[in-house]
Amino acid sequence: MNYSLENYNPNDIAEENGNFLGLPFDYESAKLIIFSVPWEVTVSYHQGTAQGPERIAEASLQIDLFDFDHPEGWKQGIFVERHTQEMLEKNEYYRGQAKSIIEHLAKGLKISDSQDLQNILSSVNHACQQINQGLFTECQKALNLGKKVAVIGGDHSVPLGYFQALATKYNNFGILHIDAHADLRNAYEEFEFSHASIMFNAMKIPQISKLIQVGLRDICHDEVEMINQSNGRIIAYYDPLIKQQLYSGKTWLNLCQEIISHLPDKVYISFDVDGLDPKLCPNTGTPVPGGLELEQVYCLFREVVNSGREIIGFDVCEVGDAEWDGNVGARIVYKLANFLDLSQK
């Protein structure tokens, strides 16, 4: 790969050089490092999100670099740290192990009835913990070098190690969470690091002072109770109530400004693509009717920047194993990269 911008023309056809968008940057020269984490061991519905990072990388080569919010945003330098074949193989193995647990529970049986299943559960939880620790180490290394970091999954369990790394750098930040699900379940299906438990685990990190959730529409009673009893630390904007306000004449821009008013100065964006209308990413892990349009979400992020808040990082998760999903996912990643850079100007 040629790391010099001297002969790089952003109008040319993207080079298949292994990097996101075919950009001419490496780890050292890039300002933003994107870690690819193809992990979906605890997925409870559709498989395929482990292939999401690869579909995003492939589709990114078809994206033109001019961005209406930040035309020169690509110049910040973006580099994708690609996952290893070993991680894919581990994902496949432990996904098979986790599936036996899920199938057992679906029959109304208990894990405690089988020592073999207890051992499997322990090994799956340990493997997920190792993924978290590995990502924590890599993110902390990049942050200590003065770089910004992003993560692409995989299922939504993957960014936990990054949250923990950010907590070593910032003593107060908020998460703006786009999702159809609250992900506030305590060890869903007995997996400590389930995709449905990512925000429950995030709330164990004291440096995360606010969790603002937008687009929720598939949620359990315990999660609603946790939100209601959080003393304002968690604020939910449920999709049906958003729609009702819009139908009643409230503008989306005003609602975006209200949502953002709850956030502290430092903002992390966690984007599960099932928060969108499922026509946009139909092969996501757990699709739900309803949801947001992509430009609505971009408007929300734009207002984060306009408010003077700093975007400190982001993740994009649950992109399915299909060309169209990868296309949409790649555009989200690039737009978030540009908003992140723009927020620091």
Give the β-pairing of 32-37 and 78-81.
parallel
* Cα distance from N-terminal residue to C-terminal residue, the chain: 28
26 marked among binding-site residues: no
156 marked among binding-site residues: yes
Q: Within 13 A of 177's CA, how many CA atoms are on the CB side?
A: 28
Give the span between the Cα atoms of 89 and 74, in whole angstroms.
Answer: 33
Q: Which of 195, 1, 170, 168 is nearest to 80 (CA)?
A: 1
181 marked among binding-site residues: yes
Beta-bridge partners for 276: 292
272 marked among binding-site residues: yes
Beta-bridge partners for 238: 216
Say how many C-beta atoms besides its own lie within 10 A of residue 280's C-beta.
Answer: 22
Give the span between the Cα atoms of 2 and 36, in whole angstroms.
Answer: 22
Q: Which of 137, 153, 237, 144 is nearest to 193 (CA)?
A: 153
Q: What is the secondary structure of 148-194 as a DSSP string?
A: EEEEEESSTTTTHHHHHHHTTT-SSEEEEEE-SS----SSGGG-TT-
- Cα dihedral 98, 100, 102, 106, rounded to 10, equals 180
Binding annotation: 156, 179, 181, 183, 272, 274
Binding annotation for Mn(2+): 156, 179, 181, 183, 272, 274
